[in-house]
Amino acid sequence: MNANEKSVGAGLVPAHLAMSEARKAASKGEVPIGAVIVRGDKVIAQAHNMRERKQNALYHAEILAINKACKRLKSWRLDDCVMYVTLEPCQMCMGAITNARIKTVYIGAKSTTDLNWKTEVVFQESEECSKLLKDFFASKR
């Protein structure tokens, strides 16, 4: 076992670790959200919100935990991992969770925030963009 890994079987419950991370966030004036990623019976990553402290919109607990897990496993594919998070993930975080192929997410509290910030999205179809992507993936097959 790596020095940074914690055995879940040793009495550490991932949901409680996520709560501990959330409390760390609160103590720093951050929205109290914590996330823990587990593979098998080992905690491989844990993080809390740091958006205000780092003044970076991407520093959500889930994103930071995914980043740590990817570095630890040397892979962006976390398909044999599960995540414990204290609050229902936002759209950005859920997209990252899905993209990382995390198989299950255990959520401690449902979000009451309306995540529709009225961002205008304009789709401008481009043959050049489509061709670049098609050619790239065709070369991989």
The answer to whether residue 62 is catalytic is yes
- Upper half-sphere CA count for residue 2 (Cβ side, 13 Å): 11
Which run of H or E residues covers position 43? strand 42-48
* C-alpha span between 21 and 46 (Å, rounded): 7
Closest CA to 62 of 40, 29, 34: 34
> Of 30, 62, 125, 127, which is the active-site residue?
62
Cβ neighbours of 5 (radius 10 Å)? 16
What is the distance of C-alpha 75 from the center of its chain? Answer: 14
Task: Return the active site residues.
Answer: 62
